[in-house]
């Protein structure tokens, strides 16, 4: 016995065809939607900031093991992510440091940045280059990539300008901390 056939009246075939097209398009849209918001490009530019570095024991001219506690604060602009400010903190143990050595310790250390939006970015710097000017300030440029969080996979450049160190303090009691007013951070698509 043959299977019963369903007969669709002539006038109702168009709505069924239209429904099939809508379902197909909706399914296709779900497939091409981005996997996550963090994969979207961001344009975080932080051109003003400050850095506070505490040294334990106080930094002197004599090389010795040194613990650094670094905290940065930034004012930023971002048209794509809504980021307007951020901060980071980092604890570093150096096997040997002194007032006379350039500090380029950021290479390969992951640094977490926390943004006013509640999001965060982890940046790992691949290269770091320090240049001492005639006035004693040290400009360090670190280049790397965002390895997790907001802007993941994008390039990051950090520039810090550390003040000239007090030579009398370096030769005697040492420096317990320094403050820098010139800090910039840029995260941009590669």
Return the minimum-mean-pLDDT range out of 30-39, 85-94, 116-125, 179-188. Answer: 30-39
Which pLDDT score, from 0 to 100, does residue 150 have?
96
Q: N- to C-terminal Cα distance for the chain? A: 67
**CA-to-CA distance for 183 and 137, rounded, in angstroms?**
13
Sign (positive/negative) of CA torsion 26, 27, 28, 32? positive
Q: What is the pLDDT of residues 105-119, one digit of tens each?
A: 677 889 999 999 999
Please report the pLDDT score of residue 105 as a whole number. 67
Please give the pLDDT value at position 104: 65
What rounded mean pLDDT belongs to the chain? Answer: 81
CA torsion 108→161→186→44, rounded to 10°? 120
Q: Which of 3, 97, 12, 105 is nearest to 55 (CA)?
A: 97
pTM over 0.85: no
Q: How confident is the model at residue 60 (pLDDT cuts 50, 70, 90)?
A: very high
CA distances from 90 to 69, 114, 132 (A): 6, 12, 23
Do 43 and 69 contact (CB within 8 A), yes or no?
no
**Tokens (6 digits) for 164:** 């000239």
For the stretch 129-140, pLDDT in tens is 888 899 989 899
């Amino acid at each position: 016995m043959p299977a019963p056939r369903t007969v669709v009246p002539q006038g109702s075939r168009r709505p069924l065809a239209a429904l099939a097209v809508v379902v197909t398009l909706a399914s296709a849209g779900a497939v091409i939607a981005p996997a996550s918001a963090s994969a979207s490009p961001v344009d975080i530019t932080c051109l003003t900031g400050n850095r506070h570095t505490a040294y334990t024991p106080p930094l002197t001219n004599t090389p010795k093991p040194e613990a650094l506690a670094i905290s940065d604060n930034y004012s930023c602009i971002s048209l794509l992510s809504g980021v307007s400010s951020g901060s980071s903190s980092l604890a570093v143990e150096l096997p040997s440091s002194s007032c006379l050595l350039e500090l380029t310790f950021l290479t390969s250390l992951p640094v977490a940045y926390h943004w006013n939006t509640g999001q965060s970015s982890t940046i790992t710097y691949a290269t770091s280059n320090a240049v001492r000017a005639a006035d004693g300030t040290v400009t360090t440029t670190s280049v790397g990539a965002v390895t997790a969080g907001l802007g993941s996979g994008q390039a990051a450049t950090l520039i810090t300008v550390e003040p000239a160190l007090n030579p009398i303090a370096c030769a005697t009691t040492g420096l317990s901390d320094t403050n820098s007013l010139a800090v910039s951070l840029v995260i941009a698509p590669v």
